[in-house]
Amino acid sequence: MENDVIIRFKQVSKFYGENKILEDFNLDIKKGEFITVIGSSGSGKTTMLKMINGLLQPTSGTIYVEGKDISKENQTLLRRNIGYVIQGIGLFPHMTIRKNIAYVPELLNHHNKKKTKEAVERLIKIVGLTPDMLDRYPAELSGGQRQRVGIARALAAQPEILLMDEPFGAVDEITRNMLQNEITRIHRELGVTIVFITHDIKEALKLGDRVLVMDQGKIEQLAVPDEIKNSPATSFVKELIQLQNN
Q: What is the pLDDT of residue 2?
A: 61
Q: How many domains does the chain have?
A: 2
Whole-angstrom Cα distance, residue 61 to residue 68?
A: 14
Contact 53, 7 (CB under 8 A): no
The answer, yes or no, to whether residue 9 has pLDDT greater than 60, is yes
Q: For residue 2, give the CATH number of its domain.
A: 3.40.50.300
Same domain, 203 and 241: yes
Number of other CB atoms surrounding residue 64 within 10 Å:
17
Instruction: Report which listed range, 3-7, 55-59, 119-123, is most confident.
Output: 55-59
pLDDT tens digit sequence for 73-124 = 998 888 888 999 987 667 899 999 999 998 877 777 666 788 888 888 889 9
Domain that holds residue 111: 89-158
Same domain, 61 and 167: yes
CA atoms lying within 13 Å on the CB side of residue 8: 15
Same domain, 141 and 213: no
Comparing 107 with 210, the larger pLDDT belongs to 210
What is the separation of C-alpha 27 from the centre of its chain, rounded to a whole number of angstroms?
16
Same domain, 147 and 223: no
Same domain, 48 and 16: yes
- The 3-state DSSP class for residue 85 equals strand
> What pTM does this model have?
0.92
Same domain, 169 and 244: yes
Q: Which residues contact 123 (CB under 8 A, 6 or more apart)?
A: 101, 152, 155, 156
Same domain, 153 and 165: no
Same domain, 101 and 34: no
Same domain, 140 and 213: no
Domain finish residue from 158, 182, 204: 158
Whole-angstrom Cα distance, residue 32 to residue 196?
A: 13
Domain finish residue from 138, 158, 178: 158
Same domain, 173 and 57: yes
